Amino acid sequence: MGIPMSLDVPGARRDHVWGLVSDAFEVLHAANRRFSRFDASSEVSRYGRGEIVPWEMSDDLREVLAVAERASADSGGAFSVRRPDGSLDTDGVVKGWAAQRAVDVLRAGGLTRFCLNAGGDVAAAGEPEPGRGWNVGVRDPADAQRMLAILEVRDGAVATSGLYERGHHVWDGRTGEPASGLVSATVVAADLMTADVLATTVLALGPEGVDWARDHGAVAVIAVLPDGRVTTGGAAREGAFV
Amino acid sequence: MAARPWRGTLLYVGAVAAMAAAGIAKFAGVAPEVAAAPAATATTGSSGVGSPDAGSADSSGSSDSGTTDGSAGTDSGTDTGGDASSSSDDVTIVGDVEQTRYGPIQLSVTFSGDTITDITALQTPSRERESERINQQAVPVLTQEALAAQSAQIDTVSGATYTSQGYLESLQSAIDQRG
């Protein structure tokens, strides 16, 4: 499975930033290799089969599992990296975690203005041009040509988790049932890892997750109910849209 | 890479699985599709919330997409290649056929000046049921993102996404052919 990524660096000359960009993308490649469920020899696959003892775990795997553990505890068990059949699926953590690491690489390299989109999860830094933030469209789950909202983001992140692309890949860890209370959840937060984990958790929790997320680091939440109605929380509630 | 003069911000595009990193030049040219300026209100912390694009601004959350199903991105195998006949500045270029694990994908890309105004999938993989489902979703999403990425109003799109590298490669080949 390929996750499309794009990185927009305004005003940059390709030869000046290409090394840094390559380093950032390499972080994502490395995460993909380590955490691929589709590769039986990846570390996460071997861990899932019980072939790795705790002291052999990489720091990366340890960190991802710790993030998952925290999200599970914070959500009363709704967020879980154990699928209903008992197998391990860290996808709910890894994409945001890896993209955030890529962002860290870019920042450490001195970039202050960029916008990274990793499979629909967006991290923005600075301004694309003086006086305005990055305009991040939030896709309407029912129609790819339409936007539910446009969020103006300076230093922050927007992540969306939805059922419309990969079907019912999110489940409610409390019941083991596929999540069905919402068709999509978009979360704005200070960093991409937080936004991504919260978006998945809101989807798992259903409508009650909208207010929950605000108490757990979300700046704004936009969620779509199965009947197409939109429900919002946080800053989005006071916003001019919907 | 290209000897072309530099005209805007660079948008690097790649995919985790195979990052042969197509670099897509994001031009400063203004795309007219999205009319309403996002009125940035309610700025809290790092973000603000603006208005949605024109046409849906007044609906109170109803997301019935209804009628306006733009033709971009759906597979209409019709207008292959050649020049689009509308304005004299428009040119349509057919990208290479790229093979993906699900089958071939081929795009035609319409430019108006430096701006991409339409992307049509001439061929999409449909070898298996699974890939049909993916492509019904993924191609319109990617088309939206490609169009939005060079719009003056939307810099990028957040959404659940799935794609193949083939889409990017066919898109890139059309951009390269235009030179």
ipTM score assigned to the predicted complex? 0.85
**CA–CA separation, A141 vs B13, rounded Å?**
23
Determine, for residues A165 and B41 on separate chains, whether the beta-carbon distance falls below 8 Å: no
Contact residues on chain A for B47, CB-CB shorter than 8 A:
133, 151-154, 156, 158, 188, 219-220, 235
Domains and CATH numbers, chain A: 5-234 (3.10.520.10)
How many residues are given for chain A? 242
**CA–CA separation, B89 vs A105, rounded Å?**
41
In terms of CA atoms, which chain B residue is nearest residue A234?
Answer: B44
Residue A140: the pLDDT is 81
Residues in chain A with pLDDT < 70? Answer: 1-4, 144-145, 164-169, 235-242
Phi, psi of A22 (to 5 degrees): -65, -40
Residue A115 contacts residue B155 (beta carbons within 8 Å)? yes
pLDDT along chain B (179 residues), means of 10: 33 35 29 28 31 36 36 37 49 75 71 72 60 52 60 67 56 69
Determine, for residues A32 and B17 on separate chains, whether the beta-carbon distance falls below 8 Å: yes
Helix-strand-coil split of chain B, %, nearest 5 = 20, 30, 50
The β-bridge partners of B109 are: B93, B119
Distance from CA of A5 to the nearest CA of B (A): 5
Q: Which residues contact A88 (CB under 8 A, 6 or more apart)?
A: A37, A44, A47, A48, A81, A82
Which of B70, B112, B118 has the alpha carbon at shortest distance from B95? B118
Phi, psi of A63 (to 5 degrees): -65, -45
Determine, for residues B19 and A25 on separate chains, whether the beta-carbon distance falls below 8 Å: yes
pLDDT in tens, A179-231: 889 999 999 999 999 999 999 999 999 999 999 998 999 988 999 999 988 88
User: Between A and B, how many CB-CB pairs are < 8 A?
Assistant: 268
